[in-house]
Amino acid sequence: MRIPRVPPDLLQVLSSLAQPEALALLAEHASPLPGGRYLHRDELRYRNPPAGLNHEQWWAATCLGRTPLMQALPLQDKAGRPFRFATPQPLLIDLHHIDRDAAGQIRAPEGAPIHESRQPYLLASLIEEAITSSQLEGAATTRKVAADMLREGRRPRDHSEQMIFNNYRAMEHLSELRHTPITPERVLALHRLLTVDTLEHSEDAGRLRTTNDVAVIDQRDGHVLHTPPDAAELPRRLEALCAFANASEDSSPFVHPVLRAILIHFMIGYDHPFVDGNGRTARALFYWAMARGGYWLMEFVSISHIIKKAPARYVRAYLHTETDHGDTTYFLLHQLSSIRRAIAALHAYIARKTAEQQDTERLLARNAPALRFRLNHRQLAVLRSALKHPDAPLRIDAHQHTHGVVYQTARADLLDLESLGLLLKAKRGNAYEFYPVPGLLTKIEGLAHEQT
């Protein structure tokens, strides 16, 4: 990936414009959003500037438009300069939507809140985030194998599975920390949880790097994209980041909780405080900060799933910040867009699952109305899955984890379906597996005749 060009110095451009007419033209086009977007100088140079301005002058006008919106942060780059952020209209619109959609209840498409079936949505999200966050850093296990491992509670068998297993455990652990301040000790403990049994040197788990032989490299061509701060600075920088993470809303400048969570993510990626696992740690801290800010719906969405679809944009958002005097707005806008897309994906998933649930209930109402009211929502979910995947086995522990119930409840659910003749039970190793009976729909219809 090519590193974006560093923009020209604003004061030099302005000093070259001695004529009042030129300055007036500059002021006329002083918009923070040329073309309606928050563009980097490297993107602006491929577009036609307004009449009377060259590209450098157009960039200077853009900077003038952004200056009133810009605030300095109590976070510094490796040269000691403060990072900054602006609040252009697209950023405020994104925050409005996230405030509205991520701090309320999880709801079905009709608007009714979902209560009894929250656990399957949460489990699906935890599994998706664990898999894709690990895949972003090299895990190669297939989605199905990894998901089966997590649902069944099987121990990981290789390095990739261990990465995913660690990520899943860390995401589960974060729900217990939602009211806990973020401290350097807890960040190190989180990193240890994420990287145990995955690092070349096991002692590096939960420890800040002590050398400067770490860099962000483009794997395609070996080009160095980012050199992080000196290792000797990391303890101080982590202390400053935790102070920022725990700052109250009365602190100055006020930083919206969602922006604060994204900036924590950004700083871990920028500082690269660990020899490995920085991306996983950054994204986990983002979820922690969002939970502390009251955005509990974020437990149900996977940010890594969105990032994985376009990883180059993720890297470019970092590079645009670093090559534009520490303006983090590029990264903020990228992540806000990712959050909104992840929430939209959750809504689509809920709509799809709700439609499947309604189809199953209609089928039972038509063919076995008494059975519909006899079964609980977990058993109805088993039948939905069985009708859709007639060859897929189901284990008691997987059913237990999916619905967040104790083992005895999960066992009773499946044995009850077996007693009704809807599932078959077979021994596999030390555990039982359950399979849909052949012709499950016909069997359901037969039960209706038996009940009449």
Which among 277, 76, 89, 116 is positioned nearest to 188, based on CA atoms? Answer: 277
Helices (H), 103-183: 118-135, 143-152, 159-174
- Give the whole-angstrom CA distance, residue 253 versus residue 71: 7
Residue 106 has pLDDT above 70, yes or no: no
For residue range 369-405, what is the model confidence (pLDDT) as tens digits?
A: 777 778 898 998 899 888 888 888 899 999 998 888 9
For residue range 311-327, what is the model confidence (pLDDT) as tens digits?
A: 999 999 999 999 999 99
- At position 246, the amino acid (one-letter code) is N
> Span 254-260, mean pLDDT?
97
Of the pLDDT bands very low, low, confident and very high (cuts 50, 70, 90), residue 103 is confident
- Give the whole-angstrom CA distance, residue 436 versus residue 446: 15
Cis preceding linkage at 253, omega within 30: yes
Please report the pLDDT score of residue 112 as a whole number. Answer: 45
Please report the pLDDT score of residue 206 as a whole number. Answer: 97
For residue range 197-242, what is the model confidence (pLDDT) as tens digits?
A: 999 999 999 999 999 999 988 877 888 999 999 999 999 999 999 9
**Is residue 436 packed enough to be buried (19+ CB in 10 Å), middle (13-18) or exposed (0-12)?**
buried
Helices (H), 294-328: 303-309, 311-322
Which among 364, 307, 269 is positioned nearest to 128, based on CA atoms? Answer: 307
Q: If you count DSSP H runs as helices and E runs as strands, how many of each does the chain have, helices first? A: 20, 7
Which among 275, 277, 128, 282 is positioned nearest to 195, based on CA atoms? Answer: 277
pTM: 0.84
Burial 111-123 (b: 16+ CB within 10 A, else e): eeeeeebbebbbb
> Span 1-9, mean pLDDT?
78
Angle between helix 377-388 and helix 407-419 axes, rounded to 10 deg: 60
Query: How far, CA to CA in Å, does 68 sit from each of 6, 76, 86?
Result: 21, 20, 8
Q: Which two tokens stand for residue 222?
A: 């070996």
The residue assigned the tokens 């500059």 is: 26
Residue 451 has pLDDT above 60, yes or no: no
Integer-rounded Cα Rg, in Å, for the chain is 26
Please report the pLDDT score of residue 110 as a whole number. Answer: 52
Whether residue 56 contacts residue 19, with contact meaning beta carbons closer than 8 Å, is answered with: no
- At position 414, the amino acid (one-letter code) is L
Whether residue 215 contacts residue 195, with contact meaning beta carbons closer than 8 Å, is answered with: no
For residue range 10-40, what is the model confidence (pLDDT) as tens digits?
A: 777 777 776 777 778 888 989 999 989 999 9
> Span 136-163, mean pLDDT?
88
Whether residue 159 contacts residue 198, with contact meaning beta carbons closer than 8 Å, is answered with: yes
For residue range 152-207, what is the model confidence (pLDDT) as tens digits?
A: 888 999 999 999 999 999 988 988 888 899 999 999 999 999 999 999 999 999 99
- Give the whole-angstrom CA distance, residue 224 versus residue 232: 21
- Give the whole-angstrom CA distance, residue 306 versus residue 304: 5
For residue range 37-76, what is the model confidence (pLDDT) as tens digits?
A: 999 999 998 899 999 898 999 999 999 999 999 999 999 9
Please report the pLDDT score of residue 126 as a whole number. Answer: 81
Whether residue 196 contacts residue 166, with contact meaning beta carbons closer than 8 Å, is answered with: yes
